[in-house]
A and B are shown apart, each in its own frame.
Chain A
C-alpha cells in the first residue's frame, strides 16, 4: 500500500493526516506520494482491543516521524515488531493487514 500525504501546492505545507484545506494558507491540497520512510518516535504494544482486531494482537501502535518532517500514527507489522525501540528506521510494509499503510522495521536505532 502506498503512503500518500496532503501537500499544499501554494505554500508547501505537508499535513500529517488528510485535511479539507491547508491549515497554513487555507488553499486547496494535492495528495502526493510520500517516500514511505521514517523513524519510530514512540510506540505502545496493544494487547486488548475490539473483536475484529483479535487476529492481529499484539498490535504495535507507533508514532512515525516521516522523512517529510511530519509525525503520523501508524502500526508496525512483521515478526520482529515486538523488538521495536524508539529511533528504529521503518518503511511502509508491502504486506500490511490494515486498510491504511503500515510500517516494518528496516534498521535498529543508531
Chain B
C-alpha cells in the first residue's frame, strides 16, 4: 500500500478577537496558501480535503473546495472538536493508503468576534446546552476545572506544579512568531492571576482567538517529487465517549489509545523526542502524560515539577507554545499540535528546534458535552529517515 507522508504544514496569521478581525474563510485559505506554498504546490494538485471549523457554517468542506476550485476524490468534515485535527490527519493518511487520494489537505480553524465564543459554548452540544447551561457553568473553563479539583483531591496535585508547564510553553511561544503572547510568564504570575473557574486562574485557561492550521498528507510518490523532508504518519488511534455517563473519570480514553499506538509502532513513551499534547488547560496535558504512560497514574504533578519539558529538556512538550501561549483558534487548536510536530520533524523550527527530533506524539482531546470532553485522537509521527 502507498505509505502516507506528512509533507507540509501552514498557519494563518493569528489575530486576537476583535470586531474587525478577518472572517473564518480568510483564515482557512491563508493556512492553505502557507501550506501549499511550502510544498511548491497549487490548488490543482490537491485531491483530498478535510475540514473542522465551528464558525464557518453554513460553509462546509464542499464550499471550501468550491472557494479554492478543488477537484476532490475524498472529503470529510470533522465534528470532534479538539480531537478533529489529529483524527482527520489519520483519516487522510488512510485514504492515501487506500489509493483514493494522493495529495490531501487537512484544514482546521475559526474566527471569532467579541461575544461569539461564549455564544458558541452556550449553544454547543444539545445535552450541555439544555441540562448544564441553565446552571451558568462557565463554559469549558467550569467543566474542565472539575477534573483538576478531582485530581488534586485524589493525588495532591498542586497548582504550582501545573503552572510550570504554562511557564515553559510561554518560553517556547517567545520563539514562535505566530504566538499571540509575547511576554515571559512566571510561576508566581500564574498562581496570582485572577480566578476564572477555580482551581483555574487566568493563565491556566486557553485564550480563544482567530486563526487556522493546515497539514498536507501525500502518497510516497508525491512525497519523493516534492523534495520535502519526509515525515511518516505511523499510526493514529481515536476513541469517543470511552466511559459513557461517567462524569468524574479522569481518562477519556488516553490509556487505550496510547497502549494501541505503542503496540502498533513498537515505540514507547521513552522513545518520544517531542510530545505535542492538547492543552486547553495544563491539567489536560498532565492527564495525557499519565494516560500515554510518560508518568504513573496520578503522578503528573511531581513529573512536571521534576522534568525539563522545554525544547532543551528530556521530554519537550508543546514546543511552539501550544494553545495556551499561541492562542486557541477554535478547531485550529486541534491541529496546531500536528503542524508544530511536522515542522519540528522536518527540522524547520528555527530558534525553537528540538535537536535531532525523530519521533513525535501528537494528541487531540475535545468536544465537551454533558459534563466531560468526549473525544480523543492521537498519532505517532516519525522522521522519514528514522
Residues of chain A whose beta carbon lies under 8 Å from any beta carbon of chain B:
15-18, 23, 41-50, 52-53, 56-57, 59, 61-63, 65, 70-75, 86, 98-100, 102
**Chain B min CB distance to A72 (Å):** 8
Residue contact A98 to B135, C-beta cutoff 8 Å: yes
Can you name 14 extra interface pairs (CB under 8 A) apart from A42-B153, A44-B198, A75-B136? A44-B142, A44-B146, A44-B200, A47-B194, A49-B142, A50-B122, A56-B136, A61-B136, A61-B142, A65-B248, A73-B135, A73-B137, A73-B143, A86-B153
Residue contact B150 to A42, C-beta cutoff 8 Å: yes
Closest to A19 in B: B127
Is B347 interfacial (CB 8 A cutoff)?
no
Q: Report the separation of the CA atoms of residues A102 and B137 in the bound assembly, to the nearest whole angstrom.
A: 12
Q: Which of A16, A49, A62, A71 contacts B136 (CB 8 A)?
A: A49
Q: Report the separation of the CA atoms of residues A73 and B247 in the bound assembly, to the nearest whole angstrom.
A: 8
On chain B, the residues within 8 Å of A72 by CB distance are 247, 371
Is B350 interfacial (CB 8 A cutoff)?
no
With contact pairs A46-B136, A49-B142 given, residues A63 and B371 touching in the complex (Cβ less than 8 Å): yes
B window 150-209: CB within 8 A of A = 150, 153, 194-200
Residue contact A47 to B196, C-beta cutoff 8 Å: yes
On chain A, the residues within 8 Å of B122 by CB distance are 50
Residue contact A100 to B135, C-beta cutoff 8 Å: yes
Residues of chain B whose beta carbon lies under 8 Å from any beta carbon of chain A:
118, 122, 127, 131-132, 134-139, 141-143, 145-150, 153, 194-200, 244-248, 370-371
Residue contact B197 to A16, C-beta cutoff 8 Å: no
Residue contact B198 to A71, C-beta cutoff 8 Å: no
Residue contact A48 to B247, C-beta cutoff 8 Å: no
Q: Report the separation of the CA atoms of residues A86 and B149 in the bound assembly, to the nearest whole angstrom.
A: 8
On chain A, the residues within 8 Å of B245 by CB distance are 15-16, 70-71
Q: Which secondary structure dominates where chain A touches chain B?
A: mixed
On chain A, the residues within 8 Å of B135 by CB distance are 59, 61, 73-75, 98, 100, 102
Residue contact B134 to A48, C-beta cutoff 8 Å: no
With contact pairs A23-B244, A63-B146, A71-B246 given, residues A47 and B195 touching in the complex (Cβ less than 8 Å): yes
Residue contact A71 to B248, C-beta cutoff 8 Å: yes
Q: Report the separation of the CA atoms of residues A6 and B196 in the bound assembly, to the nearest whole angstrom.
A: 33
On chain A, the residues within 8 Å of B247 by CB distance are 16, 41, 63, 71-73
Q: Which of A17, A45, A100 contacts B197 (CB 8 A)?
A: A45
Which 9 residue pairs of A and B lie closest in terms of their CB atoms, listed nearest first?
A: A53-B136, A44-B145, A46-B138, A42-B150, A45-B198, A71-B247, A75-B135, A41-B248, A42-B146
With contact pairs A47-B196, A70-B245 given, residues A86 and B136 touching in the complex (Cβ less than 8 Å): no
Residue contact B131 to A61, C-beta cutoff 8 Å: no
**Chain A min CB distance to B121 (Å):** 9
Q: Which of B139, B150, B153 contacts A49 (CB 8 A)?
A: B139
**Chain A min CB distance to B284 (Å):** 14
Q: Which of B134, B142, B149 contacts A46 (CB 8 A)?
A: B142
Closest to A45 in B: B198
Residue contact A47 to B198, C-beta cutoff 8 Å: yes
On chain A, the residues within 8 Å of B244 by CB distance are 23
With contact pairs A56-B136, A61-B135, A98-B136 given, residues A42 and B197 touching in the complex (Cβ less than 8 Å): no
On chain B, the residues within 8 Å of A41 by CB distance are 150, 247-248
Q: Report the separation of the CA atoms of residues A49 and B197 in the bound assembly, to the nearest whole angstrom.
A: 9
**Chain A min CB distance to B132 (Å):** 5
On chain B, the residues within 8 Å of A100 by CB distance are 131, 134-135
Residue contact B118 to A50, C-beta cutoff 8 Å: yes
Q: Report the separation of the CA atoms of residues A23 and B138 in the bound assembly, to the nearest whole angstrom.
A: 28
**Chain B min CB distance to A100 (Å):** 5
**Chain B min CB distance to A14 (Å):** 10
- 5 A-B pairs within 8 Å (CB atoms) are namely A17-B131, A18-B131, A50-B136, A61-B145, A75-B137
